[in-house]
A and B are shown apart, each in its own frame.
Chain A
Amino acid sequence: MKSLDELKAIRERAQQALKMRESGDGVVVQVAMGTCGIAAGARGVMMALLDELVLRKRSDVFVTQTGCAGLCEKEPIVTVKVPGKSDVVYGGVTDQKARDIVGSHIINGQIVSDYVLNIKEA
């Protein structure tokens, strides 16, 4: 037996899972996932990104993959796209750096300049 308030609580809790299916205009993090990226550890980087986003309860951020960008020696490459801001491309990302990027850039809006490869003007 549930009350109206309990229904509301379930609604809010389950909301996270469905955000993805709305045509969102939220933050997107792209991990380059060509053969070169995977060889350099891109899959571990992606898992670290996902894990950190869960820890920080940011299910509104989407993690997607792209193909090889032609900068194979700089892999793993991660691009952070915040709507209305320049896309920031990070290179040589490790699992730990991925967590830093979530913490500083996505949560606090501070670009982690040490790892930046390129900033594409919006």
Chain B
Amino acid sequence: MTLHRSHVLVCSGSNCALHSSSFVKDRLTLEISQAGLGDEIRVLETGCFGLCAQGPIMVVYPEGIHYCKVGLEDIGEIVQEHLLKGRIVNRLLFKGTSDKNWMTKDDFDFYRKQERVVLRNAGVIDPENIEESLVRGGYAAFGKALSEMTPSQVIQEITDSGLQGRGGAGFPTGRKWQFTQEAAGDKKYVVCNADEGEPGTSKDRLILEGDPHTIIEGMLIAGYAIGATQGFVYIRGEYLLSIERLQKAINQAREFGLLGKGILGSDFEFDLEIRSGAGAYVCGEETALLNSIEGKRGEPRFKPPYPAVRGLWQKPTLINNVETLANIGPIIQNGSDWFRQIGTPECPGTKVFTLSGNICNSGLIEVPMGMTLREIIYDIGGGIPDGHQFKMAQTGGTSGGCISADLLDVPMDIPSLAKAGTALGSGALLVVDDRHCVVDLAKTFLRFFAHESCGQCTPCREGTTVLLRLMNKLASGKGDAQDITNLQRLSTTMQQASLCGLGQTAPLPILSALTFFADEFHAHLEGQGCPAGVCG
């Protein structure tokens, strides 16, 4: 065995990769070996730390020193000063909004206020090494389920945990598993939804990149519970690193006898395949996704029958989101009571949010359900940059609602946000400051829906186009009160009559913006122009 005195973890998540983290890693490896430290120091790539605005991020163990925005020109100093002489390079530490230097992850609120269940291994392990996953408890929950629990006991545990789907709709996971288990069928399937089409969301991608084995484990447990022998992971095609990492992980799991026939010496059989999507937003909708896997056009199907009864090739199919599946291992391993201690009684567990927009620490965070929007934006997110004021937040992505500063203390969980007239959705959180116009934003959201509507049903196909036309008219200052009435009536029709969630939720950003920012809409009517000075 070789013992390294230091491990240097370089983030290789997609957001840091955009800041050239792979060059940073290569240069670091080179300079370490030139300094003769190659045998003592191990350099490895790891998943997302979450502080993406500060990337590339590097953490040096055993001290746990956390460096930000590391450029190629900084590597020499890190090697000569820190790795050789043990002197911390202060100028690369995280500064936050204060003058204080933050040394390790435990020092700053961004990490301290988080609770990592889903992201427990991201930024800690080498995601391409199954052994590191095993050390951190990977596949232990599956081993427990297979050797100590019946399928029904597994489902009971998930039901008791109160886990709700993290893909957007928030359906109770245990019940969905039970329906699929009870459905009659000679063959059943488990599908992982990693399409992640919601603008401003990258959590599923970063979970897959940081810890692919946790998804395989979640699907294995699901397969055992519902009686499936085959699983598919539907990943959007642009997610190259997710696909590559997951494929490596699948290969390793097969080598270890964790996928295939006779798993771990039992008679349980399960295997996985990756299918990549071509980037249509609607293909994230579960029945469109099933059509896409079957090689058909990615158009939603009528529901019912639900996929649990008739899914892939008409067989009972369980579809869960990446983040939902990442919760399964910890729940089985630690029990539903443990899970219920996190979050709120109505909505247990954690939620991963993608922070974007006008916020200092944009990136990926995981917090207990029920943390207030204020805490997320100001304590973890570091507030609004450049002295601007908070104006609104859009929760739940493009199909979520826009809420104003009056709602900063809303608990961020599924029922509380639904009550507030918006949605938690997949956990996109777009923060907007006072320089932006709500009408202009709503127009932008509609352009997205008009583009992404699959055109299969009339309320959505025509509705999104007409809504966009109305919004364009309003934004240009040519609208009148009748247009607003029409906007509301058409929205209601779409919510009630559209075939799938896309058309049903497309009006939500407009309706919520109309509720919270009525004055701003009316200002656009009365010929006062755009108060924020954006439209024109």
Contact = CB atoms under 8 A, between A and B. Distances in A.
B86 interface: yes
A34 B136 CA distance: 36
A66 B88 CA distance: 9
A67 B106 CA distance: 23
A40 interface: no
Interface in B6-50: 6-7, 9, 40
For A23, A24, A47, the residue with the greatest tally of chain B CB atoms inside 10 Å of its CB is A23
Interface string B236-274: 000000000000000000001110001011000000000
For A16, A18, A33, the residue with the greatest tally of chain B CB atoms inside 10 Å of its CB is A18
Given A33-B86, A67-B85, A16 B7 contact: no
B86 A20 contact: no
Nearest to B136: A18
A63 B5 contact: yes
B337 interface: no
Contacts of B528: none
Interface stretch (A7-15, A89-97, A105-113, A114-122): A7-15
A10 B85 contact: no
A3 B104 CA distance: 39
Given A20-B62, A54-B2, A63-B5, A4 B147 contact: yes
A62 B61 CA distance: 9
Nearest to A15: B135
A53 B62 CA distance: 15
B257 A10 contact: no
Contacts of A63: 5
A20 B132 contact: no
A7 B62 CA distance: 27
B86 A53 contact: no
Interface string A47-66: 10010011000010011111
Contacts of A98: none
Nearest to A24: B62
Contacts of A16: 1, 3
B62 to A, nearest CB: 4
A20 B256 contact: no
Given A7-B143, A7-B264, A11-B135, A20 B61 contact: yes
Contacts of B265: 1, 3-4
A14 B40 contact: no
Given A54-B2, A64-B62, A2 B132 contact: no
A14 B2 contact: no
A59 B62 CA distance: 11
B63 interface: yes
B134 A10 contact: yes
A46 interface: yes
In this complex, the interface size class of chain B, counting residues with CB under 8 Å from chain A, is 35 or more
A41 B3 CA distance: 20
Contacts of B106: 23
Contact of A50 (B5, B64, B135, B256): B5
B132 A30 contact: no
Contact of B86 (A10, A50, A64): A64
A7 B139 contact: yes
Nearest to B130: A10
Contacts of B9: 21
Nearest to B258: A2
A28 interface: yes
Contacts of B95: none
A66 B86 contact: yes
B5 A46 contact: yes
B3 to A, nearest CB: 5
Interface in A24-51: 24, 28, 30-31, 33-34, 38, 46-47, 50
Contact of B134 (A14, A21, A24): A14
B465 to A, nearest CB: 53
A14 B125 CA distance: 12
- The 7 A-B residue pairs whose C-beta atoms are closest, nearest first, are A65-B86, A62-B62, A1-B257, A14-B131, A63-B5, A33-B85, A54-B3
Given A11-B134, A16-B1, 4 more contacts: A18-B132, A33-B86, A65-B85, A67-B87
17 contacts: A2-B256, A4-B147, A11-B134, A14-B135, A18-B125, A18-B136, A20-B4, A20-B62, A21-B7, A21-B61, A23-B106, A24-B62, A33-B86, A50-B3, A64-B6, A64-B63, A67-B85
